[in-house]
Amino acid sequence: MIIAVIILSLALIVCAALVVLLKKDIRLLNYTLRTIEKSDTNMRATTETFDKNISELCNTVNDILDRQKKIIIASEKSNREFRQAITNISHDLRTPLTSAIGYIQMIKFGNTPDGKKREYFDIIEQRLKSLSNLMNELFEYTQIIEGKVSQNIEKINVCNVLRDIISDYYGDFMSKNFTVEFNIPDLPVYVLCDSNYIKRAVQNLIQNVLAHGIEYFKLTVDGNNIIFQNKVSNAEAIKADKLFERFYTADLSRNSNTTGLGLAIVKEIVHNMGGDVNASVENDMLSIFISMQ
């Protein structure tokens, strides 16, 4: 009888100790969560017991805290990018508009000869066209990312599309003294895409070459891959992993009258057609790769 009482007493003592430890863990967990709620800290939920349920609860809480931390970091990054995007857009739109207004004031209030007026009107027209192009590009990008454009995916010979576009821009390359090289097979290469949108993507890439490239351009079709390569003068300033991000431009002064959306539009178009696009910079050569199905 005495032994039974001793055993029971020991069992009660152990249970009481476990209850005390469990209550301590619950208080510690509650304190940790309250501290995290009120401050930016990397505190983790811990336990001093060997209770499986409490350990699992701590692991679950830590998983939630990790996800919450990632959400906060992503949100802060997104907010920074949004603020920078607003700054960039404001600059890109204000520059041609301010220039146009300046020439209008010179015509309106200055003693401008008739011959100069014609020159100023031409400049104003160029600035307003530039502004219109920027607005159209911004509108097009928002339409694409919001899924408001429909695509007619079909099997087309991409070589014919490329030849047609190249013929349209060949004079531009010659006027800028580019050496051009085309490796487009005579046999057809069929890919699944929307003909209008693959044209838009290729046009954006060629316009990017004309705007930022120098001296040399090469276009290659290798299976379902389309490779654009051009020489650049500022290779060290180009971040290949950021080229397709919206509003990115290697021109930090942003004097090129571009929103930095041209390549972002290419990325969205290609992805929407089930393809992939990436870039690399080696020495003074920028290469952009489009892979289609």
- Look at 287 and 58; give whichever has higher pLDDT: 287
Backbone angles phi, psi at 227, to 5 degrees: -120, 125
Task: Report if pTM > 0.85.
Answer: no
Predicted pLDDT at 193: 85
Angle formed by the axes of helices 195-212 and 158-175, to 10°? Answer: 20
From the CB of residue 235, how many other CB atoms can be counted at a distance below 10 Å?
15
Do the beta carbons of residue 244 and residue 277 sit within 8 Å? yes
Q: What is the pLDDT, as a whole number, of residue 199?
A: 87
Does one domain contain both 118 and 211? Answer: no
Q: What pLDDT shows up at residue 77?
A: 80
Q: What is the mean pLDDT of the chain?
A: 80
List, in order, residues 6 or more apart from 281 with CB less than 8 Å away. Answer: 232, 235, 238, 240, 287
Mean pLDDT of 148-175: 85
Mean pLDDT of 249-277: 72
**Do 167 and 258 share a domain, yes or no?**
yes
Give the end of a domain, one of 79, 112, 145: 145
CATH of the domain at 215: 3.30.565.10
Structural domain containing residue 225: 154-291
Select from 145, 164, 183 the last residue of a domain.
Answer: 145
Top-confidence range, 70-79, 149-158, 233-242, 276-285: 276-285
pLDDT at 254: 44
Reply yes or no on whether the pLDDT at 166 is more than 70. yes
Contact 50, 82 (CB under 8 A): no
Average pLDDT over residues 129-134: 76
**Do 267 and 167 sit in the same domain of this protein?**
yes
Task: Choose between 5 and 202: higher pLDDT.
Answer: 202
What per-residue confidence (pLDDT) applies to 250?
Answer: 56
159 and 252 both lie in a single domain:
yes
Residue 118 sits in a domain whose CATH number is 1.10.287.130
Report whether pLDDT(78) > 70. yes
- Give the chain's domain count: 2
pLDDT computed for residue 247 by the predictor: 66
Q: What is the pLDDT of residue 240?
A: 77
Task: Identify whether 33 is part of a domain.
Answer: no
115's tokens: 């011959």
274 shares a domain with 197: yes
Flag whether pLDDT at 24 surpasses 60.
yes
- Return the pLDDT at 251: 52
Confidence of residue 252 (pLDDT cuts 50, 70, 90): very low
pLDDT at 259 over 60: no
Residue 125 lies in a domain: yes
Three-class DSSP category at 164: helix
Binning pLDDT at 50, 70 and 90, where does residue 2 land?
A: confident
Which pLDDT does position 253 carry in this prediction?
Answer: 44
Is position 221 within any domain? yes
pLDDT of residue 12: 72
**Angle at the Cα of 246 from the Cα atoms of 124 and 259, rounded to 5 degrees:** 5
Q: Over 80: is that where the pLDDT of 38 sits?
A: no
pLDDT tens sequence across 168-184: 888 888 888 998 888 88
Categorize the per-residue pLDDT at 148 as very low, low, confident or very high, splitting at 50, 70 and 90.
low
**Does any domain span residue 282?**
yes
Check whether residue 100 and residue 176 sit in a common domain: no
